[in-house]
Structure 1
Amino acid sequence: MGELVVAAVQMRSGVMPEANIQSMEALVREAAARGARYVQTPEMTGAVQKDRKGLLSVLRTQEDDPVLKAAASLASELGIYLHIGSTAIEVGQEMTANRGAVFGPDGALLASYDKIHMFDVDLDNGESWRESAVYRPGEVARTVDLDGARLGMGICYDIRFPHLFRDLALAGADILTAPAAFTRQTGEAHWHVLQRARAIENGAFVISAAQGGVHEDGRETYGHSLIVDPWGRVIAEARGDEPGVIVASLALNEVKAARGKVPNLKNARSYRVENGMQPASGKTETGERVA
């Protein structure tokens, strides 16, 4: 396995897709100019909008979505793999999908993924979120093949569910992704450790482009887009919450090396969970059976 130059684009998306598309295009062009073959944008690239009516007013179907159309054109023009971390897609009955999409160097859609785990939480200081009131959760985990590597797709809150990333790794993913719009509160507490943990557990690279800063709708996100290697080392990080681009060259043979040193994907065993102490069974020193 060879080298793959990758980039994560950090954004501060507003409520209108048109302005966000312009920002996305400028940053993706910068990433490609710096040699990136694969470029990832954050969750909610198209619009960060916590007002339900406001979000529904700018929704489009996948076929008509301007973010995905722009991404397909840009991937083809630049000859790159372009991963829209996610954007809101109309799926009927005033519901949306939080959908990620990967486009190939010819502009073709290679894979799409709907966020499975909904961010329904009550944080300190009155901060409360109910994604399930607006978004329809996905039901299918997704991988996609790039140049000599397999990518596993996740989105933001998914990073807190280790079994999803384990299943992606068992399906052959060398690179795991969790493009995000982490709140500042949760990001300061958990962002780095979650990204590094998923990399270490699975012996995989993790790439997570992030939203950062105070957004037009009043939301505040953490930023600190990350690229982590299979040994859990941060090899690129956006310092702070300002928009920008981080780039790293991934030595893909590091995946095999990490999994060879600590082969926990192979060593995992099935088991059951029982409550309380169970009577011992076996033989005594005299050979008498105990139950």
Structure 2
Amino acid sequence: MMESSTERQGKMKIGAFQFAGSGDMEYNFAKISEGIRQAAGADVRFLAFYECALTGYPPLEVSMECIDFEAAEKYCAQVQMFAVKYRMYIALGCAVRRGGRIFNSVRVFSPRGGELPAYDKRALWGWDRENFYEGGSDGIYDIDGLRIGIRICFEVRFPEYFRELYRQGADLGVVCFCDISETDNPDRYELIKAHLRTRAVENVMPVLAVNDAGPFQTAPTAFFDRDGKVFAECRRNETELLVWEVEKLPDTFGQAGRKYVNGRLSLSGPHHVSPCIAQTEGTGG
């Protein structure tokens, strides 16, 4: 889906808003509205919320039977009005009923009015398999000269979902989580953070992650550059807005090398990549 505008092409201020979600949609919407207003004050152009931020994530925060889908649509209509008012793209996680089926979706609202095609989670296991149908869209959005790819939670475990973004030339990956625990689990937090760093490095693509803030976060809200460096990270378990500016930049020597080998691998497999190519400058990536 392509959206053109008069904004700076290839450069964008992005944001991610984390808060502790619940099964109370009115409360969740109030926090979402707070995040949108804060982001507008920071001139954010693209704002991401976490997985099922509006409805609550079933069954951790709400049972599927208790989700009021008609109310969710009314709240989404208000989010759409915010998008137009603040000239902001808003990516909002919520459970969606569509055609008699329920999907774990990230809905994308455009400042031009209307909604872009949603991205529906595809990597389903456990509760997700019990509650949702598998999606089929690619989650690619062309906005202000940047190609943005959206993925949801468990998909970070699988390189293939992010290699899809690489092959389609994504300039930014956005991962929406609801990865939380009733007890503190810093080891899991660091593991998911490592997954995100790896997805950024292997695909030479910056990654923005956003997670539910509690009770205890087991995945970060953070921005990673193309080399996996953490440039910004929210405090764990607290309501907070992360803001960063992303832009297209020339490849470094190491980044160009990763792209070169990625291209060779996609054509012929790892056994055809020569280990003996002479390098006259720089270091590997």
Q: TM-score range by the shorter chain?
A: 0.7 to 0.9
2:94 aligns with 87
Query: Structure 1 residues 87, 161: CA separation in 2 closer, same or farther (over 3 Å shift)?
Result: same
| 2-structure distance, mates of 1:266, 1:221 | 36
Structure 2 portions without partners, runs of 5+: 1-8, 271-285
1:4 aligns with 12
Structure 2 residue corresponding to 1:242, chosen from 235, 238, 262: 238
What secondary structure sits across from 1:176 in the alignment? Answer: strand
Question: Which range is displaced more, 202-211 or 221-230?
Answer: 221-230
The answer to whether 1:134 aligns with 2:131 is yes
1:4 Cα deviation after fit: 1.2
Residue type of the alignment partner of 1:74:
F
Normalising by structure 2, we get a TM-score of: 0.81
Residue type of the alignment partner of 1:11:
F
Normalising by structure 1, we get a TM-score of: 0.80
- Asked if the contact 1:199/1:230 (under 8 Å) is kept, the reply is yes
1:119 Cα deviation after fit: 3.5
Structure 1 portions without partners, runs of 5+: 121-129, 215-219, 274-291
2:34 aligns with 26
| 1-structure distance, mates of 2:94, 2:217 | 16
Q: What are the within-5 Å matches in structure 2 for residues 226-241 of structure 1?
A: 226-241=222-237
1:280 aligns with none
Query: Structure 1 residues 242, 119: CA separation in 2 closer, same or farther (over 3 Å shift)?
Result: farther
| 1-structure distance, mates of 2:110, 2:50 | 18
String of CA shifts for 1:36-72, please: whole Å, max 9, x gaps.
11111111111325449833332426x9613422221
- Asked if the contact 1:59/1:90 (under 8 Å) is kept, the reply is no
The answer to whether 1:75 aligns with 2:83 is yes
What secondary structure sits across from 1:4 in the alignment? Answer: strand
Q: Provide the aligned length of Structure 1 versus Structure 2.
A: 256
Query: Structure 1 residues 258, 73: CA separation in 2 closer, same or farther (over 3 Å shift)?
Result: farther
2:118 aligns with 112
Q: What are the within-5 Å matches in structure 2 for residues 120-269 of structure 1?
A: 120=126, 130-184=127-181, 185=185, 187-214=188-215, 220-222=216-218, 224-253=220-249, 259-263=255-259, 264-269=261-266
1:87 Cα deviation after fit: 0.3
What secondary structure sits across from 1:181 in the alignment? Answer: coil
| 1-structure distance, mates of 2:248, 2:141 | 16
1:279 aligns with none
